[in-house]
A and B are shown apart, each in its own frame.
Chain A
Amino acid sequence: MADLSTGSPDTWTVRSIVVTMFPLLVALSALEMGSGFVLEELQETYLANPTLLIVVPVMIGMGGNLGAILSARLSTQLHLGTLTFDLRGRTLWTNVAAVFSLAVTVFVLLGLAAWVVGHLVAAPMEMGTLLTITVVSGLSLTAVVVALSVSATYVSYRLRLDPDDTTIPVVTNVGDILGVVILSGVAVVVL
C-alpha cells in the first residue's frame, strides 16, 4: 500500500515484502536444484559413505559465511575510502590472507569433527581420506568465493551500486550452490 502523504511506498507491508522477496527465493531455489541434482546423482556414493553426508550442511553454509565476512569488510573499507583496487595495496591482500587462514582452520576442524561424528552415527571413513576431501574442497571453495567477492565488490564499485545490497547476497548464494558441487567433485576424484 503506497503512503500517499510522502509519495514513497510503504515497505513495511506483508504485500511489499512478499512481492519483493518471493520471486528471488523462487529463482534461488531453482538454482539450488542444480546442487541438489548433484547430490541425488551421487546418492549411492553419499549413502555408502555417510561421513560425506555429515559434511554437507557445513559445505553448503561455510562458503557463504566466508564470502560474507570478506564482502562485508571490503564493502565497509570501500565506503571508508581505505580500499583501493590496486594489486599492490595492503588492505586487499590482508583481508584475503585472513579469510584463507580462517578457511584452513575451519576445514581442518570440519574433517576432524566429521570423523568423530562419523564414528558415532555410521561406518567411519579413513581420517586421511576425509581430511583430504574437506581441506581440498574447502580451500577450492574459498578460492572461488574470494575471487567472486573481490570481483563483485569491484563491479558494484564501478557501477556505483551499494555493495552491501549487491555483493553479499550474490556471494552467499553462489557460495551455497558451489559448496556441494565442489565437495562432490573432489569426493569422486579422491574415493
Chain B
Amino acid sequence: MVDWGDVWAIYRESIPVLAVSLAGGIFAGGVLGSEAMRANFREYPGLLLLLPAFLATRGNVYGALGARVSSGLHQGLLEPRFDDDRRLVATVVASFVNGIGISVIVGVLAWAVLAVLPGRQPAPLAELVGITFLAGLLTSVVLIVGVLALVFAAFKRGLDPDNLVGPIVTTLGDVFGVVFLYAAVAVVGLVL
C-alpha cells in the first residue's frame, strides 16, 4: 500500500527546507521565551493575543509577493532585477500597503477583543498599534527586499522558486517578525 522507496525520496527532498524553517522558528521562540519578552507580555496585555495573527500575516503577504513575482518571471512579464519597471513597482508598493495596513489592523483587533471582554483591560490602543505599525514597517522592508533578492537569484540560476518561497518566507517572517516586534516594544516603551 505504501512505496517506501518513494517515501524516502520525498523525505530527502523536503527535510532540508523543514530543518531551516525549524531553526528559524526556534530562534524566534528563543526571543519570545526570553525574560525581557515575557516582561513585555505582562506589561502590554494584548501583545500575546496579536502574536499569531502578526506572524501568520507575514507568510500570507510576502508569500503572495514571492508567488506573484515568480509567475511574472516565468511568464516573461518581469525581469529578474531591481529596477523601476511598472509592474515591479506596483507589486512592491502593494506589498508595503498590505503588510503595514494589516499590521495596524492586527493591533486594533487585539485591542478591541480585550476591550469588549468583561474584566479584561488591554494596553492603550496607541501603544498596541504603535508596536504593530513599527514592527510591520520594519518587517516589510526586510521581507520585500529579501524575497525579491531570493526569487531573482533562484530564477537566474534556473531553479524553480515556487518550491522554496513558502517555507523561506515563513522562516524569514518568524525571525524578523519577532525581532522587530521586540524592537518595536522597546521604542514604544521609550516614546509613549
Contact = CB atoms under 8 A, between A and B. Distances in A.
A161 interface: no
A122 B22 CA distance: 20
Interface in A102-140: 102, 105-106, 109-110, 113-114, 117-118, 120-122
B101 A22 contact: yes
Given A90-B1, A101-B11, A30 B94 contact: no
B33 A51 contact: yes
B73 interface: no
Summarize A's interface: helix, strand, loop or mixed: helix
Contacts, number: 218
Contact of B32 (A32, A57, A73): A57
Nearest to B17: A65
Interface residues of A, number: 67
A74 to B, nearest CB: 12
Contacts of A145: none
Contacts of A14: 90, 93-94, 97
A58 B26 contact: yes
Nearest to B61: A25
B70 interface: no
Given A26-B102, A28-B57, A56 B32 contact: yes
Interface in B21-68: 21-26, 28-30, 32-35, 37-38, 41-42, 45-46, 48-53, 55-57, 59-61, 64, 68
